[in-house]
Amino acid sequence: MANSKYEYVKREFEFHRHLPASNWIVVRIDGCHFHRFSELHAFEKPNDDRALRLMNACATSMLEKFPDIVIAYGVSDEYSFVFREKTEFYKRRESKNISLCVSYFTIVYGMKWKDFFPNNDLKEPPYFDGRVVCYPNINTIRDYLAWRQVDCHINNQYNTCFWALVKSGKTEKEAHQALKGTSSKDKNKLLLQQFQVNYNDEPAMFRKGSTVYRDKVKTDDCGNPIKRTREAITVSNFDLIGPEFWENHQYILGEASDYLCLGGKEKYGYEYVKKFDNIHRLPYSNWTIVRISACQFDQFSLIHSFDKPNDETALRLMNACASLMMEQFPDIIFGYGFDNEYSFVFQEKTELYQRDERLIISSCSSCFTSFYMMKWKEYFPSKELVQPPHFQVEVSCYPEPRIVCDYLSRRQSECHNRNQYTTCFWMLVKSGEGENKAKEILKVFFLSSFRSSFITYSN
Ligand code: GTP
Ligand code: MG
């Protein structure tokens, strides 16, 4: 099955957007439908300590997994990850960056769920969307983080008042009405006078959000003093708006020498910060294909002892996830998968996320990951999921159904080639050849077109 006939599909329609060099990359992840998710899992209102600590644990895992993340800041169901200015993470490819971050965050959320909610089973797959935004200098990054922390303060103060009123007997409508037009001062007064609550005594994690970064410490893991400083990933609830944290942690972003003069002109510049958000909408009247593929799958399949060359159960698990994707996203009209990948064709006129590419990429990658995690036990009842599976996503658009068909033919031809190769490879290995020797033999066979006669040879 010649693949070259379909090569044009890749050459002419698959593009990779690279994020601009010398910019700080921020990936902001946000829980999808967490209003419903938090109700379903009976989160405490307005803040659930366990849910927030679970988010912090996921952020910590992100810093462990991706060393180029220098700081993360989270509140409620969102987390922002700042990659260092000169990161070459997947050559700064936007789709890789966003899909891998969201997928990895999702899988850790699912795998750590039981540590924080031991008596509460996951009732629906948690999933997240994400956006990636570039900031050109330290000032704008600091403004960005300050903006998120101000948002945290505004929302948390409102929610604290709102739920205090509701718990005291007001209806939700009455509580909203009572808070309409109130200033920050009014809200503090209300809490103090009606509920004897000093807002500043509320836990810092609720008021300030959480910051995760590599701290320089002079103690070992048990807290004993050591001579040399070492880096330890730390979760704290510091103020990021004022200068103190940054003065004490200059190594995280570097020095922002003109920060004060810029900040003085437009206080914190939040409106300015929002302008960096760069939405790419997929072209209209095009068929969108989202291709999901597992990362580091060789290692994953080895650790989970998948059959070689094909593990039927693993393939059926992928198919089950694909079916769930079609239920979750009714605009998907067709799915095709093999090995560790799946392609989903969206109907031509889909308005999913108003065709915002980042949101489509991230939510598809997150959803698929979450389904994989939730379905694992059903397909592998006697195997523990020990390593987090995570998936990357590419999206491309095709103007005509004919090209969509050629895309699918290309994938199937790739399936054939790959499967023929791995079938031969594992036959040789099982017959006693070393893996390197098997590769060498196959090089010869696959260069000359004797593939079909190979099976005869190996027997
Ligand atoms: P989308 O992000 O647009 O999908 O909507 P969403 O439902 O996730 O809402 P949004 O992201 O705007 O806000 C997050 C929501 O998550 C809050 O409104 C809460 O309902 C819920 N949430 C987040 N953290 C907590 C928590 O600690 N306790 C409770 N009770 N709810 C929380
Ligand atoms: Mg949300």
- CATH code (residue 154): 3.30.70.3000
Ligand 1 pocket member 188 (CB < 6 A)? no
Atom of ligand 1 nearest to the CA of 39: 30
Assess whether 308 and 442 both reside in one domain: yes
- Among the bound ligands, name the one nearest to the CA of residue 203: 1
Atom of ligand 1 nearest to the CA of 31: 8
Assess whether 35 and 106 both reside in one domain: yes
Assess whether 228 and 341 both reside in one domain: no
Would residue 172 count as lying in a domain? no
Atom of ligand 1 nearest to the CA of 44: 30
Distances 291 to 95, 107, 108, 339, 374 between C-alpha atoms, Å: 11, 19, 22, 13, 21
Query: 185 CB contacts (<8 Å, ≥6 apart)?
Result: none
Mutate to test the pocket of ligand 1, among 34, 106, 370 (most ligand atoms within 8 A of CB): 34
Would residue 233 count as lying in a domain? yes
Mutate to test the pocket of ligand 1, among 77, 159, 352 (most ligand atoms within 8 A of CB): 77
Domain that holds residue 82: 18-163+202-274
Assess whether 288 and 263 both reside in one domain: no
Ligand 1: distance of its center to the CA of 356 in Å? Answer: 21
Ligand 1 pocket member 34 (CB < 6 A)? yes
Atom of ligand 1 nearest to the CA of 78: 11
Assess whether 219 and 268 both reside in one domain: yes
Would residue 325 count as lying in a domain? yes
Mutate to test the pocket of ligand 1, among 29, 33, 38 (most ligand atoms within 8 A of CB): 38
Ligand 1 pocket member 33 (CB < 6 A)? yes
Torsion angle defined by CA atoms of residues 265, 268, 269 and 270, in that order, rounded to the nearest 10 degrees: -160
**Nearest alpha carbon, ligand 1 atom 2:** 32
Ligand 1 pocket member 58 (CB < 6 A)? no
Atom of ligand 1 nearest to the CA of 49: 27
Total tally of structural domains belonging to the chain: 2
Would residue 178 count as lying in a domain? no
Assess whether 125 and 223 both reside in one domain: yes
Would residue 111 count as lying in a domain? yes
Would residue 179 count as lying in a domain? no
Assess whether 244 and 296 both reside in one domain: no
The model carries a pTM of: 0.94
Please measure the distance between the N-terminal and C-terminal CA atoms of the chain and give it in whole angstroms: 23
pLDDT string in tens for the chain (459-residue length): 456 788 899 989 988 899 999 999 999 999 999 999 999 999 999 999 999 999 999 999 999 999 999 999 999 999 999 999 999 999 999 999 999 999 999 999 999 999 999 999 999 999 999 999 999 999 999 999 999 999 999 999 999 999 999 999 999 999 999 999 999 999 999 999 999 999 999 999 999 999 999 999 888 888 888 888 899 999 999 999 999 999 999 999 987 656 554 444 445 578 889 899 989 999 999 999 999 999 999 999 999 999 999 999 999 999 999 999 999 999 999 999 999 999 999 999 999 999 999 999 999 999 999 999 999 999 999 999 999 999 999 999 999 999 999 999 999 999 999 999 999 999 999 999 999 999 998 888 776 654 554 444 443
Would residue 127 count as lying in a domain? yes
Instruction: Give the residue from 245, 274, 303 where a domain finishes.
Output: 274
Question: Helix, strand, coil: what percent of the chain each, to 5?
Answer: 55, 20, 30
Assess whether 319 and 248 both reside in one domain: no
Instruction: Give the residue from 259, 274, 289 where a domain finishes.
Output: 274
Assess whether 70 and 159 both reside in one domain: yes
Would residue 378 count as lying in a domain? yes
Assess whether 335 and 250 both reside in one domain: no
CA distance 69 to 84: 6
Assess whether 309 and 339 both reside in one domain: yes
Assess whether 53 and 37 both reside in one domain: yes
Instruction: Give the residue from 219, 241, 274 where a domain finishes.
Output: 274
CA distance 332 to 350: 9
- Among the bound ligands, name the one nearest to the CA of residue 41: 1
